[in-house]
C-alpha cells in the first residue's frame, strides 16, 4: 500500500476524527478562558473608573464646582501612567485634567488615540512610551455634573494587548494540537496498516496456492492478533482439507485401480472368448457385477463421509445419553461377535449425556466394533467401554488382536487406507475414516493406542452442559 494511502485508512480517519474533536474541545475551553479573562480585566477597569466617578460626585455634592475642580486636579497630578481625567465647563472649555478637551465623550467609550492627540498631553505621551508599539487606547466614561462635564478613563492598551496574546495563543495552540494529532494519528496508523498489508499479502499468496504461509502474531493480543490467529486456524484447516483431498485422490486412484482392472479383465474375457457353458457365462457376469458393486460401495461410502464433513447433519443434534447408544449396539453385536468366534464385553457407565446425532453415533460405534471383529484373529476379546472423566465421555473399543504399529496409527483414519495384512479381508478402508469424520462433527477427538496386546480406539466427546 502506498504511503499516501494511509490517510484513507479507517484507523487514520478515526484518529483524525478524535483530533478534530480534541481541537474543538480545546478551542472551546481556551475561548471560554479568553472571554472570561477579557471580561475580568475590563471589569477591573470599569470598577476603577466608576470608583473615581463616585469620588468626584461626592466632591461635587460637598463643595460644588470648586471642590470638583480641585479633586480632578489632584487626581490628574498624582495619577499613574494609565489613568486619565478631564473636567470641562458648560461651554466645553478645559478646566482641569491631564488629557485634551476634544477627548470628551458622554457615556462609555473605547478607542485608539491618534498621534496628534497624544502629543497634546504629557501623560498621554508617557503612557505611549510605556508601550512597545507607542499606542494609547482610551477606555472612558463621561457624564454631566450640573454645568460640568466630567470624564474618567484608563489606558486599555494592556487589555487589548492581552486579548491579542490570548487570541494568538489560542490559534497557535489549536494549530499545534492539530499538527501533533495528525502526525500522531499517522504514526499510530502505520503499525496497523503494515499488519493489514501483511494480511492482504498473505491472501494473495494463498490465492496463488501457497497454503503453508502463516501470519505473525505479536504479544499484544489485540484485535489484529485475534484476527491473525483465526486466519491461521482457517489456513491450517484449508491446508489439511487440501492435503486430505490430494490423499483421497491418490488413494482412490490406487485402491480402485485393482477392482476396476479386474472388472475390465472379466468383461474383456467374456467379450473376446464367449464361454460355451451357460453356467460359466453366468459366473463371469456375476463376478463382474460383484466387482462393480464393490466400486459403487466405495463411492457411496466416500459420499457419506463427505456429507458428514459438510456439517449438514449438525441440525439434527440433540441431547442424548451415549450410554443408551452403546448398550444398544453391544446388544446387537454380541451375537455377531460370537458367530465370528469372538467374545464381546461391555463396561458402560450410565448417564453420559452429550450433544449429537443418534444415528451417526450408532454408525460410529458400529464401525469400531466391526473393525475389531473383522481384524482380530479368533478367538478374540473385544471390550466396549464408556466412562466419564474431566468433562468428557470416553468411548473406547479395545481388542487383544495383533494391534497396529505405532507409525501407522494416525494413518488408519485416512480414507481407503489399509494395512498390508488387511488387504485380503473384506472392506473398503473407509470405516475408520467415517469414525473420524463423525467424531470431528461432534467436536470429539479420536485416538489409537496400544492395548497391550491389541488396539484401543478411543473417542472423547465433550459432555453436554445442559445436564
Is there a single domain that holds both residue 28 and residue 104? Answer: yes
> Which CA distances in Å does 151 have to 106, 107, 275, 416?
8, 9, 143, 113
Asked if residue 38 is part of any domain, the answer here is yes
The pLDDT of 175-181, averaged and rounded, is: 80
CATH for 128: 3.30.450
Out of 39-53, 171-185, 225-239, least confident range: 171-185
Count of C-beta atoms within a 10 Å radius of residue 246? 10
- The model's pLDDT over 277-327, given as tens digits with 9 standing for 90+, comes to 667 777 777 777 877 877 777 777 777 777 777 776 778 889 999 999 999
Count of C-beta atoms within a 10 Å radius of residue 192? 17
Is there a single domain that holds both residue 87 and residue 126? Answer: yes
Q: How far apart are CA 121 and CA 116, in angstroms?
A: 10
Is there a single domain that holds both residue 407 and residue 346? Answer: yes
CATH for 376: 3.30.565.10
Query: Which cell is 140 given?
Result: 472612558
Is there a single domain that holds both residue 349 and residue 444? Answer: yes
Is there a single domain that holds both residue 305 and residue 369? Answer: no
357's CB contacts (< 8 A; 6+ apart) are 313, 314, 316, 317, 318, 441, 442
The whole-number pLDDT of residue 456 equals 94
Q: Determine if the peptide bond prior to 453 is cis (ω within 30°).
A: yes
DSSP assigned state of 5: G
- The model's pLDDT over 446-464, given as tens digits with 9 standing for 90+, comes to 999 999 889 999 999 999 8
The winner for highest mean pLDDT among 123-127, 167-171, 266-270, 460-464 is 460-464
Is there a single domain that holds both residue 375 and residue 278? Answer: no
The pLDDT of 409-431, averaged and rounded, is: 71
- Identify the sign of the CA torsion 413, 418, 420, 424: positive
Is there a single domain that holds both residue 61 and residue 142? Answer: yes
Is there a single domain that holds both residue 55 and residue 93? Answer: yes
Asked if residue 176 is part of any domain, the answer here is no
Is there a single domain that holds both residue 15 and residue 152? Answer: yes
Out of 67-71, 136-140, 180-184, 225-229, least confident range: 180-184
Asked if residue 56 is part of any domain, the answer here is yes
Asked if residue 180 is part of any domain, the answer here is no
Confidence of residue 1 (pLDDT cuts 50, 70, 90): very low
20's CB contacts (< 8 A; 6+ apart) are none
- The model's pLDDT over 333-351, given as tens digits with 9 standing for 90+, comes to 999 999 999 999 999 998 8
H runs (alpha helix) in 208-256: 223-255
Asked if residue 436 is part of any domain, the answer here is yes
Domain end residue (candidates: 122, 137, 162) = 162
Average pLDDT over all residues of the chain = 82
- Whether the Cβ atoms of residue 298 and residue 255 lie closer than 8 Å to each other: yes
Asked if residue 169 is part of any domain, the answer here is no
Domain end residue (candidates: 284, 312, 340) = 312
Crossing angle, helix 223-255 and helix 257-272, to 10 degrees?
A: 30
Domain end residue (candidates: 260, 285, 312) = 312
Asked if residue 199 is part of any domain, the answer here is no
Q: How far apart are CA 415 and CA 243, in angstroms?
A: 12
CATH for 292: 1.10.287.130
The whole-number pLDDT of residue 423 equals 57
Q: Which domain holds residue 61?
A: 6-162
CA atoms within 13 A on the CB side of 63: 10
Per the structure, the count of domains in the chain is 3
Is there a single domain that holds both residue 423 and residue 305? Answer: no
Is there a single domain that holds both residue 334 and residue 264? Answer: no
Name the pTM for this structure: 0.52
Is there a single domain that holds both residue 289 and residue 347? Answer: no
The winner for highest mean pLDDT among 23-27, 140-144, 262-266, 279-283 is 140-144
What is the residue-wise DSSP string for 112-143? Answer: EPPHHHHTT-HHHHHHHHTSTT---EEEEEEE
Confidence of residue 234 (pLDDT cuts 50, 70, 90): confident
Please tell me which residue, 441 or 15, carries the higher pLDDT value.
441
Asked if residue 367 is part of any domain, the answer here is yes
The pLDDT of 239-245, averaged and rounded, is: 75
Amino acid at each position: 500500500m502506498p504511503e499516501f494511502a494511509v490517510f484513507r485508512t479507517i484507523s487514520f480517519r478515526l484518529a483524525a476524527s478524535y483530533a478534530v474533536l480534541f481541537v474543538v474541545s480545546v478551542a472551546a475551553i481556551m475561548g471560554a478562558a479568553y472571554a472570561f479573562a477579557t471580561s475580568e480585566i475590563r471589569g477591573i477597569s470599569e470598577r476603577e473608573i466608576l470608583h473615581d466617578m463616585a469620588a468626584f460626585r461626592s466632591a461635587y455634592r460637598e463643595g460644588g464646582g470648586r471642590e470638583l475642580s480641585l479633586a480632578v486636579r489632584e487626581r490628574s497630578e498624582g495619577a499613574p501612567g494609565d489613568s486619565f481625567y478631564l473636567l470641562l465647563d458648560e461651554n466645553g472649555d478645559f478646566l482641569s485634567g491631564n488629557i485634551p478637551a476634544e477627548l470628551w465623550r458622554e457615556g462609555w467609550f473605547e478607542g485608539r488615540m491618534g498621534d496628534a492627540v497624544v502629543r497634546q498631553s504629557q501623560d498621554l505621551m508617557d503612557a505611549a512610551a510605556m508601550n512597545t508599539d507607542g499606542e494609547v487606547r482610551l477606555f472612558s466614561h463621561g457624564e454631566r455634573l450640573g454645568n460640568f462635564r466630567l470624564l474618567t478613563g484608563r489606558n486599555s492598551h494592556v487589555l487589548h494587548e492581552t486579548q491579542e496574546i490570548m487570541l494568538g495563543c489560542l490559534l497557535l495552540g489549536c494549530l499545534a494540537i492539530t499538527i501533533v494529532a495528525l502526525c500522531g494519528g499517522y504514526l499510530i496508523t502505520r503499525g496497523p496498516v503494515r499488519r493489514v498489508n501483511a494480511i492482504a499479502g498473505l491472501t494473495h499468496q494463498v490465492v496463488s496456492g501457497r497454503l503453508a504461509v502463516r501470519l505473525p502474531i505479536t504479544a499484544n493480543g489485540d484485535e489484529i492478533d485475534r484476527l491473525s490467529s483465526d486466519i491461521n486456524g482457517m489456513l491450517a484447516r484449508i491446508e489439511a482439507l487440501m492435503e486430505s483431498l490430494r490423499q483421497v485422490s491418490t488413494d482412490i486412484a490406487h485402491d480402485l485401480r485393482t477392482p476396476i482392472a479386474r472388472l475390465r479383465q472379466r468383461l474383456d474375457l467374456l467379450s473376446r472368448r464367449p464361454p460355451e457353458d451357460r453356467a460359466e457365462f453366468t459366473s463371469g457376469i456375476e463376478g463382474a457385477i460383484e466387482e462393480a458393486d464393490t466400486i459403487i460401495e466405495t463411492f457411496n461410502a466416500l459420499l457419506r463421509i463427505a456429507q458428514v464433513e459438510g456439517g449438514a447433519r449438525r441440525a439434527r443434534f440433540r441431547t442424548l445419553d451415549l450410554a443408551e447408544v452403546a448398550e444398544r449396539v453391544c446388544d446387537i453385536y454380541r451375537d455377531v461377535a460370537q458367530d465370528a468366534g469372538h467374545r464381546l464385553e461391555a463396561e458402560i457407565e450410565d448417564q453420559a449425556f452429550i450433544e449429537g446425532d443418534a444415528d451417526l453415533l450408532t454408525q460410529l460405534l458400529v464401525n469400531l466394533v466391526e473393525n475389531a471383529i473383522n481384524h482380530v484373529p479368533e478367538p478374540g476379546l473385544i471390550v466396549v467401554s464408556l466412562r466419564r472423566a474431566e468433562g468428557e465421555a470416553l468411548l473406547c473399543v479395545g481388542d487383544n488382536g495383533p494391534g497396529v504399529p505405532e507409525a501407522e496409527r494416525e494413518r488408519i483414519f485416512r480414507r481407503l487406507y489399509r494395512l498390508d495384512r488387511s488387504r485380503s479381508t473384506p472392506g473398503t478402508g473407509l470405516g475408520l475414516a467415517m469414525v473420524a469424520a463423525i467424531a470431528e462433527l461432534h467436536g470429539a477427538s479420536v485416538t489409537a493406542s496400544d492395548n497391550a496386546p491389541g488396539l484401543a480406539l478411543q473417542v472423547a466427546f465433550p459432555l453436554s452442559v445442559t445436564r
